[in-house]
Each structure stands twice: as structure tokens, then as C-alpha cells.
Amino acid sequence: MDGLAQLGFGPGSILVVVVVVAVLFVLASTVKIVPQGYNYTVENFGRYVRTLTPGLNIIMPFVERIGHKMNMMEQVLDVPTQEVITRDNASVAADGVAFYQILDASSAAYEVSNLQYAILNLVMTNLRSVMGSMDLDDLLSNRDTISERILRVVDQAAHGWGIKITRIEIKDINPPKNLVDSMARQMMAEREKRAEILEAEGARNAKILRAEGEKQAQILEAEGKREAAYREAEARERLAEAEAKATRMVSEAIAAGDVQAINYFVAQRYTEALAKIASAPNQRVVFMPLEASSLIGSIGGIAELARASFPDAAPASAVPQASTRRPPATVPPRAGA
């Protein structure tokens, strides 16, 4: 006190300082600021009375105090690896993660002593239970089903703790090495089998396509031959019609006594016959010059023979005139080889 008095602090000043410190202490004990994402529980002489929400809150000094500071945001809990025996007696190592969120701060603070430890053990127990009731093939192919079953059971069990289990995910399912090797061999055998099946199907499809192509080619070839035969028959028919028409015209000319038409027809046939003889590949023919008078005489003789064959068709006056006008028929000289 003497030192404070020497510094200029009297008894009144010391009292003011003490009062200010006491007021600051009371204010610090009374005013509580709760951050966003948290809830504080308030205890009155050790008994829970209420929950403080984010923002500025006031409690009674020396009577109330903050009991638990609860994180209300979604939290993740890592599930350690554990050995699981499946229904078909296969041993696998599985781990995962659990996501949860506190909905009721008072229940989470006072209904269970260690919330995370309780959630972890609940998840691990149900993980072994669910995976142990399934075969190994189902475990490896139905992770979503496993997660849903575990989530449903754990969330129902943890409902009384004021929390919500939002998700449970299986991270890894690791069979033993010998089982992994067996699965690898099985997978390789399955792939080889599928490859052989695909190769066989490809060969079969190729043969089918090749046979279809040959069949189509044969059909087209047959249709082409049929069309060619039809065209050839049509051509022969037209040729026969032309021959018949020519023969009919010759007959009409003979009947009418038209010597010029008869001579033209005979000369045309004679020329065609000579052309065929000349085009023979295995013969060598030499044609000697023919006298025009002899050729005309032979044509006239043929005409007389035609008239003699058809006496009724020729007019009565035509035969004497033709015989008086035309020299006697002579046979043309033969061609020498």
C-alpha cells in the first residue's frame, strides 16, 4: 500500500481498480459468444438447463457455466481395418468411413459418454454382421447394398444419441493373397473363354456372309443366264419371223411373176453362202471370178424352176414372156481350192 501511495494511488484509486477488475470478470463470466456451427450446453450447479445457439448469449455468473461445446457440423469418422469371415468361409479385410451430424446437442452430450467411440463400435459391429451374412462374390459386387444395410441399422441405433448417421461407405475389401491369385486365374480363364467364343462367332458370321455372297452371286448369274436365254430366244423368234416374212415375200413375188425380186433374193442367198464359206477357220478357199452373164443366167434358171414348181400361182402370160426373154440357165463354174 505504501508503494501504491508513493506512486500516487490513494485508497480510493485502488478501490476503483478492484471494482473495474471485478466488473470485467463478471462480464466475462456472463457474456458468451457461440461461433457458427456450434452449440453450447449450460449447466446450473452441474445440471443441464439449456443450450446456447450461435451468437451473443448471457448466462448467470457464478451459478451457470458452459458444460459442453458441441460441433453441429457434419463430421467424418474413420473405421479401421478389420477381419471379416464371409458366409462361404472366406477371410477378408474391410474398412470404411462413417459420416454423422449432431442434431440435439444435449442428447449427444449427456446420453452417451464418448460419442465417437460409441459410433465407431456400432459401425464396426454391424459391418462384421452384415458382411458375415454374405458370400464373397456378393461382397465384391454389392458394396452399395452393404453400405445401405449398415447405415439403416446404425442410424436407428444411434437415434437416441441426438445424432444422424448420414452416410457409411466401404473403402476397401481385400481378400487374402491366395484368394486374389485364384480370382485372377479365374478372370483370365473367363476372358480367354469369351475371346474364343467371340472368335468362333466371328468365323461363323464370316462363313455365313461368304455363303450369302456366293448364293447371291449364283442367283444373279442364273438371272443373267435366264435373261440372256430370253433375249436369245427373242432374237431367234424375230429372225424366224424375218425369214418367214422374206419367204412369204418371195412366194408372193414368184406368184406375181416379179423376176427382179426373185433374182435379188437368190443373189442375196448366194452371197451369204459365199461369205460363210470364206469365214470357215479350217478351210482355205480361193474364189475364181464369175461372169456376170453366167450368174444372171443361173438366177434366171432358178426362177424358171420356181415357176415350174408353182404353175397355178404365176399368170398365164408371165411364163412365155420369161422364157422368151431369158437365156437358158447355165451352171456357174466351181471354185477351185
Helix (H), strand (E) at residue 39: strand 38-44
Among 101, 49, 99, 42, CA closest to 69: 42
109 versus 8: the higher-pLDDT residue is: 109
Query: Phi/psi at 35 (nearest 5 deg)?
Result: -70, 165
Residue of 154, 175, 2 whose CA lies nearest to 79:
154
Region 194-199: mean pLDDT is: 91
Cα gap 224→79, rounded to integer Å: 80
Please report where in the chains the cell 459410433 appears, as a residue.
119
For the segment 51-60, the average pLDDT, to the nearest whole number, is 93
DSSP 282: T
Confidence at 3, pLDDT banded by 50, 70, 90: low
Q: What percent of the chain has pLDDT over 90?
A: 33
Long-range contacts from 140-144, C-beta under 8 angstroms, 24+ separation: 140/173, 140/175, 143/170, 143/173
| 112: DSSP letter | -
pLDDT in tens, 77-115: 999 999 999 998 888 999 999 999 999 999 999 999 999
Q: What is the pLDDT of residue 328?
A: 45
Q: Is 111 exposed, middle or buried (0-12, 13-18, 19+ CB in 10 A)?
A: middle
Percent of the chain with pLDDT over 70: 76
Q: Using 50, 70 and 90 to split pLDDT, how confident is the model at 24?
A: confident
pLDDT band at 281 (very low <50, low <70, confident <90, very high): low
Strand partners for 69: 40
Paired with 170 in beta bridges are 96
pLDDT tens sequence across 288-312: 545 545 555 555 555 555 555 445 5
Q: Are 166 and 97 in contact (CB under 8 A)?
A: no
User: In angstroms, rounded to a whole number, what is the distance separating the alpha carbons of residues 159 and 120?
Assistant: 15
In Å, what is the CA distance from 295 to each residue of 65, 80, 131, 258?
152, 126, 119, 18
What's the rounded Cα separation, in Å, for the pair 263 and 302? 9
pLDDT band with cut points at 50, 70 and 90 for residue 324: very low
Chain mean pLDDT for the chain: 79
Identity of the highest mean pLDDT range in 3-7, 195-199, 269-273, 327-331: 195-199
pLDDT at 52 over 80: yes
